[in-house]
Amino acid sequence: MHSNYVRGLAAALAVPAVLLVGVSGGTRAGAAEQVLNLYTSRHYQTDEALYDGFTKATGIKINRIEGKEDALIERIKSEGANSPADVLITVDAGRLWRAEQAGLFRPVHSAVLEARIPASLRHPDGLWFGFSQRARLIFYDKARIKAGEIKTYEDLADPKWRGQICIRSSSNMYNLSLLGAMIASDGEAAAEVWAKGVVANFAHPPHGGDTDQIRAVAAGDCGIGVANSYYYARLLASDKDDERTAAQSLGVVFPNQDGRGTHINISGGGVLKAAPHPDAAVRFLEYLASDEAQRLFSDGNNEYPVVADVPANPILAGLGAFKADTLNVKHLGENQPLAQKIFDRVGWP
Ligand SMILES: [Fe+2]
C-alpha cells in the first residue's frame, strides 16, 4: 500500500509544469492537474473521507505518503529544498513542535484558519494548526473507587493509590505532552514530585498502548488508568459486546474541572517551507477546518472538533461537556525536553 502512494507521488511529479499554467481556481477544465502532496502520520482508514471530500470540493488531487511521524520528519529534512511535500499532518503537538524546531514549516496567514481554530490550538505565527482535539482522561474501577475520589492528574500521585495506577511508558509522546502541561501549570519542581509519586503508584511497569490501559482497568489489573478520549470512545462504539461492556463498566474522569481544565492535545499540521503547491496546501488546511471535515474527524475517529460550533459525535457528546485546558499546545512541545529529563530522573520507564 505504501509503495502505491510512492508510485502515485512519482507519477504526479512527472506531470510537466506547463500543464499547471493558468490553473488556479480549481474550477476549470484543467483543474484535475492540480495536486497536493501530503505527508501524514495519521493512519486511520476513516481519513479517506477527508481526502475525498477535499478533492471533491476543490478538484485538487491528493498524493499521500503515510509513515511514522519521526520518519516523515527525517525524510522531509533530508529531501531539503527539493522536498515534494506540501503539507505535513501528524498527531500530538509535541511532534508538530519537533517539525517546527527542524525548520520545516512556513508561516500561513489565513483569516479562515484564524477565525475557526481557537488560538490555544495553533501556533501563534501560523506554522501549524490543530484540526482535532483529544482529551487525556482518567478511568477507574467502580468496584474499588468511588466517584469523586480522583478528580485531577495531580491526584494520580496520591500515596493512597499505591499499586493501582496503569499508564503507558514515558517514551510515549502523549505522556511527554501531559507532563509538559504539568510543568507549565505546576512548575518543574512540582511536576517532578508528581511524576515520582505516579511511579511509586504503578500497578506494574508500563506496557502497551492507551487501549491496553483501559482494558487493564476493566479487567481489574489496576484501579486507575490513563488514556486518550478517542480510544475510550472507540471501545464504547465497538461492535464487540465484551469491549462495549468493559468500557461501560468504568468510571470516567475529565480531570481538573475545578481548576485549569482537562489536558488537551491535537492532531494537526502545517505547510512545509519547500512546498511546491503552497496555495493548494493552504486550501487543504482550510478544508480541514470546514464544518464537513470537522464532522469527519469526530464521526470517523472519535476526536473532538476544534471548531466551536461543530458538534462532537454522539458517543463523545454522551460523555458530557467539559472544561478544557486553554494552555497553548505549543508549550507541550517546548517543555518536552525537560519532561523527558524528569521522566528519566524519576525512573518512569
Ligand atoms: Fe493515538
The per-residue pLDDT for range 262-272, each reduced to its tens digit, is 999 999 999 99
Asked if 133 contacts 297 with a C-beta cutoff of 8 angstroms, the reply is: no
Calculate how far, in angstroms, residue 177's C-alpha sits from the geometric centre of ligand 1.
Answer: 13
Continuous H helices in the chain = 2-13, 48-58, 69-79, 93-101, 111-116, 173-186, 188-200, 210-218, 229-236, 241-248, 278-288, 291-301, 314-318, 330-334, 336-346
What 3-state DSSP class applies to 276? Answer: coil
Calculate how far, in angstroms, residue 96's C-alpha sits from the geometric centre of ligand 1.
Answer: 15
Asked if 236 contacts 244 with a C-beta cutoff of 8 angstroms, the reply is: yes
For residue 5, pLDDT over 90 is answered with: no
Residue recorded with cell 501563534: 124
Dihedral Cα 299, 139, 95, 309, nearest 10 deg:
40
How far CA 158 is from CA of 199, 213, 220, in Å, comes to 11, 19, 20
Query: What distance in Å separates the CA atoms of residue 202 and residue 300, rounded to the nearest whole number?
Result: 33
Query: What distance in Å separates the CA atoms of residue 38 and residue 41, rounded to the nearest whole number?
Result: 10
Calculate how far, in angstroms, residue 39's C-alpha sits from the geometric centre of ligand 1.
Answer: 17
The pLDDT score that the predictor gives to residue 196 is 98
| Mean pLDDT across the chain | 91
Calculate how far, in angstroms, residue 76's C-alpha sits from the geometric centre of ligand 1.
Answer: 22
Calculate how far, in angstroms, residue 53's C-alpha sits from the geometric centre of ligand 1.
Answer: 23
pLDDT tens for each residue of 303-344: 999 999 999 999 999 999 999 999 999 999 999 999 999 999
The pLDDT score that the predictor gives to residue 238 is 96
Beta-strand pair 264-271/224-228: unpaired
* Residue spans of beta strands (DSSP E) within 197-303: 224-228, 250-253, 264-271
For residue 21, pLDDT over 90 is answered with: no
For residue 19, pLDDT over 80 is answered with: no
Beta-strand pair 129-141/304-305: antiparallel
Calculate how far, in angstroms, residue 268's C-alpha sits from the geometric centre of ligand 1.
Answer: 13
Beta-strand pair 61-66/35-40: parallel
Calculate how far, in angstroms, residue 160's C-alpha sits from the geometric centre of ligand 1.
Answer: 29
pTM summary value: 0.88
Calculate how far, in angstroms, residue 80's C-alpha sits from the geometric centre of ligand 1.
Answer: 28
For the record, the C-alpha cell of 195 comes out as 511524576
pLDDT tens for each residue of 164-203: 999 999 989 999 999 999 999 999 999 999 999 999 999 9
